[in-house]
Amino acid sequence: MVKARLIGTLILVFLAQFSFGQESESKNGWNLPASGTIRILMVFVEIDYDNTPSLQKYEAWPKGELPPDADQVFDPQYSDNLKGRISQYFDESSFGQYKVLGDYFHEPITIKESELGSRVSRYGVMQYVSNYMTEKGVKSGSGLGFNDFDLWTNNERAGKLKIAEPDGGIDHIMMVVRNFHGVGLSTGFASQGSFGKINGKKSDSHSVFAGTDFQIMRHEYSHLVFGGNNFHCGGGQHNGGGTNYFIPLQGGWSTMGNYNSMFMTCNAWDRDRLNWIHPEKEFTISAIEQSSVKEVNADLSLEKAAKPITFILRDFVTSGDAIRVKLPYLDSTEYEQWIWIENHQTEAFNKSPFDQFLYTNEPCKPKAKPGIYMYLQVDKNIKKGQKTFKGYGDYLRVMPANGFYDAFTETEKTKTNCVNNMPVNAFYKKRNFMNPLTGTSDVENTVTDKMGKEKGSEPDGKITRDETDFKWVEKRNGTYQSELQHMGTPAHAFGLGSNDEVSMGTNPPSSSVMTLVSLDTDMLKSRKPNNRKVVLNGIKIKVLSENQDGSITVEVGYNNTTINENQRWCADSIVLPNIKQNEPSLVLVEGKTIRIDRGFTPTRVSNPDTLNHQTLFTLPTTFTIAENSTVQLNKKAGLELRNKSTMILKSGSTLNLHRRANLIVSDDSRIILEDGANINHKSRRKAKKLAFLFEL
């Protein structure tokens, strides 16, 4: 698996950059600008190990030549018909506000090992290349010179306003190396430090890659615009790559995505953060309101949108339309959370080479289905001030339309038969183990306690980042489906039909999620601002129509408290707040059941427990009915408590049972009534059925 890296000095320099008076803003970019025009100088370098020929191994492109795609990475000049992949990408993502141009040094530079002596290192190579270009002069493949790559004044203050004036140094140098053992194949890094002195002046920033791979080049360069490793997200994080808000690594899509992304596009969070707004729009987060057919601010909260609103979402890539819904009722001392909604019509509609799944041209990989795609944001909302570039990685979590579940993994490996054909542990889903509140999904890693510190040792009661599995292969109905599920499947799109709604009673749900800031340990010891409870909220997001012009009509509303599907709810803590004044906060319709159960998907990384001889990194579920909240079970509806679950009715709360409703409590579970809580029903079997209740 490809690993994206940043060198250590990138972070160290950053920590000292807030001593200046000007306030940082995300829209200014971290160390490089996020708008305007920048031109990058690419230089192709090959190492000839003349002293140690055994090191002549890497064949990224033909020896002694420029790569065949050297002129397909950037466009040297801006036009309405860009060809370079990176130039295209940033132009599309920013609606033309950020023009990332570039060109390559006119010839490949071959360096003999004997010329470097003891300096066969990255820095030795960079110094050699700097001296070489100083001696030969900078000339690009299209005839550009040194000054064409110096458009900005070096900005050593992260997030400050950039000055679009030359300062005598090249703004950014990308060194792409062949046959160099200092950088592994398909890896790279970026730094705001100087590449070296050219013509007596240090360059402003640089990056180094082993090959012209679009994903890694775009990702690493984007670090200098977004921030450090704590901005890994959307499939851009990797084992050991930094501390995250969630236990498993996340997939998804983002400019900061990489080899485990679904789409290759940016996302609405990216555009909002960098102020990449459509030229015909007023808001970075907006859509068309159906009633007025006008652009409206679609950054919603309970206070701003108490009534349902119907939006028309056009294709995200070309219009920038998106909706963000803030989750209510969360404790002010915990992380804020939002749901993002985007309409991806894919390449067939919008002609974007990036609005498609990775490896989409492989026979094994299904095409992306046009439709609504959603993800949840945790924290990471500060765009101005000293905390602008703080926080953790993997702050976006995909909400695939096929939901969350407790995953199980085979012990024997099977080959993927897709892309690289490597052996992996296939995952599978069991019937009745859907887990919408704390389960895993296709696009995040499965995590299990596989082993101790020593490879091959027995499980040690701890989960580390190395004990995670990408969901390459699913065993489904007895056969192995090798679709690279963690990189997206058609089942992840919402549209008309069975997957057209997200609400309190669907999978995926509209509820908040549990977070655990962690890498290999629980960094905050499960304390706040971690979200250690799931809060139900009454939000409902409904697809109403898919229109001929590619737009999709979506309704967003609050206070929808009816549960229409069977549910299995698992979490360390579930809270039902008082969503609707003087009305039930939860109504379970006729014939449906909510089972309060113990989850199998880890919600912590240490101190496991056992259930039926199985090791679990979860707690028994506690379901709390908040003060003055009402739960209503209709005819033949059922509420079950299993596996040491507890239901607490707080003071003033009420559980209303139809006389033919079912309340089932296992021997190891219980219901706790606080003073002033009530259970109302008309059953003649009152004493027998409720003998297990007691008051606090």
pLDDT score at 89: 98
Predicted confidence band at 353 (pLDDT cuts at 50, 70, 90)? very high
pLDDT recorded at residue 416: 84
Collapsing DSSP states into helix, strand and coil, what is residue 364? coil
Q: What is the model's pLDDT at position 449?
A: 86
Distance (Å, whole) CA 515 – CA 395:
10
State yes or no: pLDDT of 9 exceeds 50: no
Tell me the pLDDT tens digit for each residue of 199-210: 999 999 999 999
Q: Which of 348, 349, 342, 343 is nearest to 325 (CA)?
A: 342
Q: Which amino acid belongs to residue 242?
A: G
Average pLDDT, integer, range 644-672: 96
Cα within 13 Å of Cα(554), Cβ side: 33
473-477, 591-595, 645-649: least confidently modelled range: 473-477
Instruction: Assess whether pLDDT exceeds 70 at residue 221.
Output: yes
SS3 129: helix
> pLDDT tens across 445-467, in order?
999 887 765 556 678 889 988 88
Q: 484 near 504, Cβ under 8 Å?
A: no
Residue 344 has pLDDT above 60, yes or no: yes
CA distance 181 to 589: 64
Residue carrying structure tokens 């949108």: 305
Measured in residues, the chain has a length of 696
User: Helices 85-94 and 214-226 meet at what angle, rounded to 10?
Assistant: 40
- Across the range 159-164, mean pLDDT stands at 95
Comparing CA positions, the residue from 122, 124, 202 lying closest to residue 170 is: 202
CB 71 within 8 A of CB 141: yes
Over residues 428-432, the mean pLDDT reads: 91
Query: Is residue 129 exposed (0-12), middle (13-18) or buried (19+ Cβ within 10 Å)?
Result: buried
Give the mean pLDDT of 274-290. 97
Identify the pLDDT of residue 225.
Answer: 98
Which string of DSSP letters, residue by residue, matches 662-686?
Answer: EEEE-TT-EEEEPTT-EEE---TTH
Would you call 612 exposed, middle or buried from its count of C-beta atoms within 10 A (0-12, 13-18, 19+)?
exposed
Which of these ranges, 243-252, 475-484, 560-569, 654-663, has the smallest mean pLDDT? Answer: 475-484
499 has which bridge partners?
A: none
Express as a percent the part of the chain with pLDDT over 70: 94
Element (H, E) at 131: helix 122-136
| Better-scored residue on pLDDT, 686 or 554 | 554
244: left (phi over 0), alpha (psi -120 to 50) or beta: beta
Residue 117 has pLDDT above 90, yes or no: no
The pLDDT value given to residue 512: 98
Residues contacting 685, CB < 8 A, separation 6+:
none
Report the C-alpha gap between 430 and 440 in whole angstroms. Answer: 13
Distance from C-alpha of 102 to C-alpha of 578, rounded to nearest angstrom: 57
CA distance 463 to 440: 15
The predicted structure's pLDDT at residue 692: 45
372 vs 220, 313, 360, 441, 632, CA distance in Å? 28, 9, 19, 17, 32
282 DSSP assignment: S
pLDDT of 162 > 50? The answer is: yes
- Please provide residue 563's backbone torsions phi and psi, each rounded to the nearest 5 degrees: -105, 120
